[in-house]
Amino acid sequence: MPVHVLLFDAGSDEEGIHSIELAGRTVVLLFEDADDAERYAGLLEAQDFPMPTVERIDREEVELFCAQAGYEARFVPAGFLPQSEEDRLLIAPPPRNLDVDHWKEAATAARSERGEDDSSGSDPELEAFRRRLEGLL
């Protein structure tokens, strides 16, 4: 089943997937409806965030990527209505966002804190997934 995710610098070496922090978890949003993903991207841009690209990707592939990267994949169904404050972040971005220009440095620092070595480049499985994402473009 395809879902829609938000990518920054799609197809480049600096490509990144949009995520939010919820209670200490890094959550990647998987939108069922492309219009919902486009609306969310527009809300990010309205907050002076760079405009992400909405990409249609197989849900199982994204969930596998998230599991391998230590992220939580959160499915946002079409017509989703929030029931809690946390749910509201699934349809509108938080008022404070990580500067996308520094996301790579933050990710590298987080890997270092977890004791993961980044000297050899990236994880081969993550690199293979990145190439598959690039192939979709």
DSSP H helical ranges for 1-123: 34-46, 59-69, 85-88, 103-113
CA distances in angstroms from 87 to 42, 62, 81, listed in the order given: 18, 20, 8
Half-sphere exposure of 72 (CA within 13 A, CB side): 12
Is the per-residue pLDDT at 77 higher than 80? yes
- Structure tokens belonging to residue 18: 């949009």
Whole-number Å distance between alpha carbons of 133 and 137: 7
pLDDT recorded at residue 119: 46
- Structure tokens belonging to residue 63: 């969930």
Residue 33 · residue 80 · CB < 8 Å: no
- Structure tokens belonging to residue 39: 């609306």
Whole-number Å distance between alpha carbons of 7 and 131: 14
Half-sphere exposure of 110 (CA within 13 A, CB side): 12
Residues facing residue 21 across a β-bridge:
26
Residue-wise pLDDT for 80-136, tens only, equals: 888 878 777 777 877 655 454 444 555 555 545 545 554 445 566 666 666 666 655
Residue-wise pLDDT for 2-60, tens only, equals: 999 999 988 888 888 999 888 888 999 999 999 999 999 998 888 888 889 999 999 99
Antiparallel, parallel or unpaired: β 72-76 and 53-58: unpaired
pLDDT recorded at residue 125: 66
